[in-house]
Amino acid sequence: MSDVVTAPPLTLPDRLSSIDEPVKSIRTPAAVRYTYSPGQAPSEFLYKVAQKQLTGRKCPQCTKVYIPPRETCPTCGVTTLPDIIDLPDVGTVTSFCVVNVQFYGQAMEVPYVGALILIDGSDIPLMHLLQEVDVETVHMGMRVEAVWVDEGDMGPTLESIKYFRPNGEPDADWNSYKDNV
Amino acid sequence: MAEVEVLRAPLVVEYPFTRTTGPVIGAFFTALREGFIVGIRGSDGRVIVPPFEYDPQTSEPLTEIVEVADEGEIVSWAWSGEPLEGQPLDHPFGWALIKLDGADTGFLHVVDGPKEQLRTGVRVKARWAAEREGSINDIEAFEVIA
């Protein structure tokens, strides 16, 4: 093993060498403050979420249903998606991640599961949290349902859904989600 | 399709970093906490403020910490008419590179006072904060001295 390199000792003016507790760290917070606006279609979506209704928008050209919706189709570029489709709050886990690493400022207890959930009737998975489940049992194809927050806490945010949990249905058929993994 | 009122919300991307200083930068901040300023002597004898850990020409580690004065002259400056959050002062001020007496390099800080006073060569002195913690803001600002 090579020698460990250490910094050579400093020569300090008397005013510093007599100090018992030198400064060893400094706080250097960095922040960028934005005002974010999601635009029309996502705002409409969020107002509906506040009423416990998930919605998607359907592209007239490629017929894909997007959730959360945008004004334009990301697949074929059509600039207006007029059809708003009501969707259930039930779907299939297409992919997931078990988080085991605690990081500074994290609110969740580890381990926890982040999952991509394909809501029935939609063509793009939604990312959310899975709870009320043994993390070892989570798998692709698992059927899950939303658990909403209390009435008083509902708002125009996906946090109106506390998390998703298994709903006990048998696993979804691979064909129903193979295009979304 | 009826339009809804578009939502908006604050979005803050922030990192609450705490950085360890090591002995050289630590000496600089310790001095600030105690109410004075130090630099470090480079290989060519010039005093660098704030101190570098390594010589800019030879790349060798530097070790001689040197006290400098808390006053000096403005080398260069720029007026900041609309201060941003997080900057040292919340009213218009001048950024300045200040060559402190005993130092050979410019030290970046702010000068608090009217724009008309700012001029290269003008002498300024540090206004120290009443409570200091080992931060660049232990110096509240520099002020022009007659």
Q: What is the mean pLDDT of residues A25-31?
A: 91
Longest dimension (CA), chain B: 74
Q: Is residue A105 part of a domain?
A: yes
Domain that holds residue B55: 22-144
A12 in a structural domain: no
Kindly report, residue by residue over A113-167, the tens digit of the pLDDT: 999 999 999 999 999 999 999 999 999 999 999 999 999 999 999 999 999 999 9
User: pLDDT confidence of A1, banded at 50, 70, 90?
Assistant: low
**Assigned domain for B6 exists:** no
Q: Confidence band (pLDDT; 50, 70, 90) for B97?
A: very high
Q: What's the CA gap between A65 and A80, in Å, rounded?
A: 13
Classify residue B60: in a domain, yes or no.
yes
Element (H, E) at A15: helix A14-17
Cβ separation of B6 and A28 shorter than 8 Å? Answer: no
Residue range(s) defining the domain that contains residue A73: 40-180
Would an 8 Å CB–CB cutoff place B45 in contact with chain A?
no
Q: What's the mean pLDDT when you consider all of chain B?
A: 95
A36 contact residues in B (CB cutoff 8 A): 8-11
Residue B2 lies in a domain: no
Q: Tell me if A52 is assigned to some domain.
A: yes
| pLDDT for residue B63 is more than 90 | yes
Q: Which helix (H) or strand (E) holds A64?
A: none
Of B8, B11, B30, the CB nearest to A23: B30
The pLDDT value recorded for residue B2 is 66
Average of per-residue pLDDT values in chain A = 92
Chain A residues within 8 A of B19 when measuring between CB atoms: 25-28
Residue A97 located in a structural domain: yes
Query: Can you give the pTM of this predicted structure?
Result: 0.67
Domain annotation covers residue A167 = yes
- CB contact under 8 Å between B13 and A31, yes or no, is yes
Number of domains in chain B: 1
CA angle at residue A60 from A58 to A64, to 5 degrees?
Answer: 45
Higher pLDDT, B146 or B106: B106
- For chain A, what is the domain count? 1
Whether B35 has its CB under 8 Å from any CB of chain A: the answer is no
Residue B66 lies in a domain: yes
One DSSP character per residue, B14-61 reads: EE--EEE-HHHHHHHHHHHHHT-EEEEE-TTSPEESSPPSB-TTT-PB
Strand partners, A54: A87
User: What would the pLDDT profile of A43-91 be if each residue is shown by its tens digit?
Assistant: 999 999 999 999 999 999 999 999 999 889 988 889 888 889 999 999 9
**CB within 8 A of A84, min separation 6: which ones?**
A44, A55, A56, A57, A69
Closest chain A residue by Cα to residue B132? A23
| A134 in a structural domain | yes
Residue A164 lies in a domain: yes
B16 in a domain, yes or no? no
Closest listed residue to residue B119, CA positions, set B69, B68, B77, B72:
B77
Res A149: pLDDT: 96
